[in-house]
Structure 1
Amino acid sequence: MTAPQAPVGGRYARLYRLLDWPPRLAGLNLLWLAGVLAGGVVAGLSPATVALFALLRDYQRGGHPQAWRDFWRHWRAEFGRSQVRLGLPLLTVWVFVFYLLAVRGTPLAGAVAVLALVYLAVLAYLPPVLAHFDVPATTAWRIAALTAARAPLWTLGLGATLSLLVLAMLVAVPVAIPFFLPSAPAALVALVAARGFDSLPAAPPAPRGDEPG
């Protein structure tokens, strides 16, 4: 008969919780890839991303969701509406890429680059907003923009950290890409976004009613 294990507290409890995240992120990344492929890549990208952020929200709130079941539950629920609320904004990124290439080497290049960075900063907060709040697309954009504007230093730091993290994976440890891209960057975005939601000047819409499993 196995003796009962004593609960771990203090700094060791925090360490154990931290060590839970690498295998958790690897599993979420594989689920995200499966969700993207299940939607034929283009149609699967948006619901898989919202489902990923929904599970990250639950984990960061101290929940214990059933990853496989809850991921596909969110994926099915978001498949239709996420195409408009997130899919179209993701496609518009290519519009900025087109204009950046078109004005390259002209005086307009700096202005277009600044607009593109501002747009990307707001867009980065959109998936956690959609995962956290059950709101229309226009309200989701307003919350994402307010979150980015209320904490500009956090947003700048997040952008720099994400850039370094992705660059490190691409250059130093490309073997980590199938396991931690985009789940690791998404976890950072979700963490900063949750902090930003708490600092909104007015009370945001009520969070989603679905509880962690």
Structure 2
Amino acid sequence: MDWRRIYRAADWLMIALALQGLWILGTLAGLVVLGYGPASTALAACWRSMVHESTESSVQEGCWRLFWRTWRRELGRSQGVVLVPTLTLWPIVFWALRTRSLPVAVVVLAIGCGLLLTLVYFPVAAAAGSGRGVVESWRLGVALAWTRPGPTMGIGLGVVALAVVSVTVSSIVWPLFVPSLPVLAAVWSSERTLGRRQAVELDPPA
């Protein structure tokens, strides 16, 4: 048994727990509705720093500052990039629950699940470039989600697994690790796509 991997996984879970706490504070700081977008973007920014840095300790020490700096910077733009698309999910869920036609409900729920998986990537898109406009960030979020659909579907399965554990084992699991762990998975999944896009932007084809 490789204890180093176990210790490293435990370290990442503790970091996920700490960032989840920051996300809750950031959401409450914006009175929930206005805090959701900047808190989610700041969460993604912290995870990107963790993934990019070789020394975890130096990043952990700066996560508090990075989170709130990103929160303040993205307070306005994140409402359009993250909050507005998230709000479109609620009418879909409402109509899926209200319809009496099973085929229609299945189609609507499938659309809702696809949108939910895409929304996980929107904070990553927002954190990846503060200079991008809202529509451009939406396009980037969709590209990050579905250029490589395998990891995105894996995130969906992971969220379902967390929900099952929360229902069957302990209800505290969900509020402790969602959205922190799904956003981490989205950051990992996005790195290759973001690297390719940045390479194209720096060296565009003739």
Instruction: List gaps (5 residues or longer) in structure 1.
Output: 1-10, 207-213
Greater gyration radius: 1
User: 1:142 Cα deviation (Å)?
Assistant: 1.4
Alpha carbons of structure 1 residues 205 and 104: separation in structure 2 relative to 1, 3 Å: farther
Matched, 1:138 2:135: yes
Query: What percentage of residue pairs aligned between the two structures are identical?
Result: 33
Alpha carbons of structure 1 residues 185 and 173: separation in structure 2 relative to 1, 3 Å: farther
**Range 124-133 or range 140-149, more displaced:** 140-149
Matched, 1:38 2:44: no
Q: What's the counterpart of residue 49 of structure 1? A: 40
Alpha carbons of structure 1 residues 144 and 33: separation in structure 2 relative to 1, 3 Å: same
Q: Write the distance in 2 (CA, Å) between the matches of 1:43 and 1:128.
A: 18
Q: TM-score, normalised by structure 2?
A: 0.82
8 Å CA contact 2:93, 2:109 repeated in 1: no
Letter in 2 for 1:59: M
Q: What's the counterpart of residue 89 of structure 1? A: 85
Letter in 1 for 2:85: P
Structure 1 vs Structure 2 CA RMSD = 2.6
Greater RCO between the two (CA within 8 Å, min separation 6)? 1
2:76 to 80, 94, 97: 80
Q: What's the counterpart of residue 144 of structure 2? A: 147
Alpha carbons of structure 1 residues 36 and 153: separation in structure 2 relative to 1, 3 Å: same
Letter in 2 for 1:88: V
2:186 to 184, 189, 193: 189
Instruction: List gaps (5 residues or longer) in structure 2.
Output: none
2:166 to 159, 169, 190: 169
**Range 41-50 or range 102-111, more displaced:** 102-111
User: 1:71 Cα deviation (Å)?
Assistant: 1.0
